[in-house]
Amino acid sequence: MRAWRDWSLPLAVAAALIATGANTGPAAARELCVGTESVLLRSGPSGRHNPVGSLPAGACGVQVVGKCVSGWCDVALGSRRGWVDSRLVTVREGGATPAPAPPKQAEPPPRQVQQAAPPPRPAPPAATGAVSDRDSHCVMGVRPGDTLRIRSGPSAEHREVGGIPPEACGVIIAGPCAGPWCPVSYRGIRGWSNASYLRPPWMR
């Protein structure tokens, strides 16, 4: 029975509109009301016709000013005129204003859980095989005669375990970084270096 009611409701609205719109003039036509969403007005009685405007959400006082064809009615609201799908409007009987739909309650924004940064991981073992130019980084910003230091941990306070010459390439980022410090592998030396002095492959 519920499915029959849901299906018959648009037909009842359409029948009321057809009865009033086809047989009476604009002054005697029943008023229509728009629901909680705006409704498009079209240039003809089908969804294939071009939009010519819209009826705002919650608007009442929409008048049937022409005929109704196949569930579409020629309506007007102020200076707006066009064809509306009768399933998207309701008939206001005897000038009674339908009860407004309850406002939608805004959903609260999702709570953002601040997660603590994971502790830095030790540098993984060096990758085996040849290093391709596509994966390797190069040293930049290091003065001649100096080196980019490789340290035992992700800070300048950790001891130095090696160095990379200026402009040298073949440096591999071997895991997740901790701030500017990244685990690196260079010619068998593993440790941490400041990635601010490493140029990625796409900058070449």
pLDDT along the chain (204 residues), means of 10: 42 52 44 85 88 84 88 89 89 55 57 61 48 74 92 94 92 88 93 89 66
Give Cβ neighbours of residue 193 (< 8 Å, ≥ 6 apart).
148, 149, 150, 151, 164, 171, 181, 182, 184
Query: What's the predicted TM-score (pTM) here?
Result: 0.37
The predicted-structure confidence for 30-42, as pLDDT tens digits, reads as follows 678 988 888 888 8
Q: Any idea where the domains of the chain sit in the sequence? A: 2-95, 138-203
We find that the CATH architecture of domain 2-95 is: Roll (2.30)
pLDDT of residue 93: 58
2-95 and 138-203 share one CATH topology? Answer: yes
The predicted-structure confidence for 134-168, as pLDDT tens digits, reads as follows 678 899 889 999 999 999 999 999 999 999 999 99
CATH topology of domain 138-203: SH3 type barrels. (2.30.30)
CB contact at 8 A, 65 and 76: yes
